[in-house]
Amino acid sequence: MVGEGHAQIKIKYFVKSKVDEVIKFFEGYWVFITLSNFNRYLFFTLPCLKNKFKIMLDKNGIAKRIAKEVKDGMYVNLGIGIPTLVANYIPKGINVVLQSENGILGMGPFPCEGQEDPDLINAGKQTVTLLPGASIFDSAMSFGMIRAQKIDLTILGAMEVSEKGDIANWKIPGKMVKGMGGAMDLVASAKNIIVAMQQVNKYGDSKLLPDCTLPLTGTRCVKKIVTELGVYDIDQKEGGFILREIAPGVTIEQIKKATAGKLIIPDDVIEMSVE
């Protein structure tokens, strides 16, 4: 039996060496495990971490931090994945118009359960809400807005970002892809691009790289990246990931291990706030 305040977890790890530091996410908390056995199921109990030692960020935490970049009067496009969550955390008191490239201006937060309208969806085919004054139009009109640079801020997910600001987010060779969506138009036309992503993949490999290995969506276009570990600016001249903020409970060593590209650590790095 598992005692009160504990949780029993069943995890299967596939590791390449005898000892690996494995990062797993559980109920909003990250857990570090050093494991000597592999290709087996591991059962263990974990003390409840609620209100204790909360480290790194989950996807909602990333979205909350990015929402702080949204300023009054902006027109903002939210890409598929983590970016769609930003709509739930727009700061009160500012007037922002959210655009979805399938043809919405004035998109609101996700609907409450039972209030979904299947005819109102975003570019990721998730049900959404409309704010008062919202408008709906066709894709030609939507991409006319994007290509005419009417969008002030674009928030995209990514599979890889290079230290030069290149982004790969539309295709993994060998896997089925329905299409590139609007990402290529967005990165070619956007005034400001922020990437919302997890810094390592499921194997623990960094996704912040010297050069992208996947097919590119755009080159030298990303300005800022927010991950579960920190906030980074791209050095537009010399290339490199400039660490600006570090997530609560995260160490510089963890940042270094999770960054394959050139990492620049200034003296004025601050702790990230998502409240």
Q: Where are the domains of the chain?
A: 6-47, 59-271
Which tokens sit at 210? 């010297």
For every one of its 275 residues, what pLDDT tens digit does the chain have, with 9 covering 90 and above? Answer: 333 333 334 343 333 333 334 444 443 444 444 333 333 333 333 433 333 334 578 999 999 999 999 999 999 999 888 999 999 999 888 999 999 999 999 999 899 999 999 999 998 889 999 999 999 999 999 999 999 999 999 999 999 999 999 999 988 888 877 666 788 899 999 889 999 999 999 899 999 999 999 999 999 999 999 999 999 999 999 999 999 999 999 999 999 999 999 999 999 999 998 87
Residue 56 confidence (pLDDT): 75
Say how far apart CA 38 and CA 58 lie, in whole Å. Answer: 26
Coil, helix or strand for 178?
coil
Q: For 89, what's the count of Cα atoms within 13 Å in the CB-facing half-sphere?
A: 20
Distance from the first to the final alpha carbon of the chain: 36
Q: What residues contact residue 178 under an 8 Å CB cut-off, 6+ apart? A: none
Nearest partner of 172 among 120, 130, 212, judged by Cα? 212
Amino acid code (one letter) for 126: Q
Check if 21 is active-site: no
- Catalytic pick from 4, 69, 101, 163? 101
- H/E element, 153: strand 153-157
Say if residues 193 and 223 touch (Cβ distance below 8 Å).
yes
List for the chain the helix, strand, coil content (%; round to 5). Answer: 15, 30, 55
Residue 174 confidence (pLDDT): 82
Which tokens sit at 103? 């043809």
Nearest partner of 212 among 172, 164, 160, judged by Cα? 160
* Location of structure tokens 């049900």: 127
Residue 124 confidence (pLDDT): 83
Sign of the dihedral through C-alpha 204, 207, 209, 214: positive
**Residues 62-75, buried b or exposed e (16+ Cβ, 10 A)?**
bbbbbbbbbeeebb
Residue 140 confidence (pLDDT): 93
Coil, helix or strand for 195?
strand
State the CATH architecture for 59-271: 3-Layer(aba) Sandwich (3.40)
**Cβ-based burial of 54 (10 A; exposed 0-12, middle 13-18, buried ≥19):** middle
Say if residues 40 and 22 touch (Cβ distance below 8 Å).
no
Nearest partner of 152 among 255, 82, 86, 76, judged by Cα? 76
DSSP 8-class letter at 84 = G
Say how far apart CA 108 and CA 209 lie, in whole Å. Answer: 34
Residue 55 confidence (pLDDT): 54
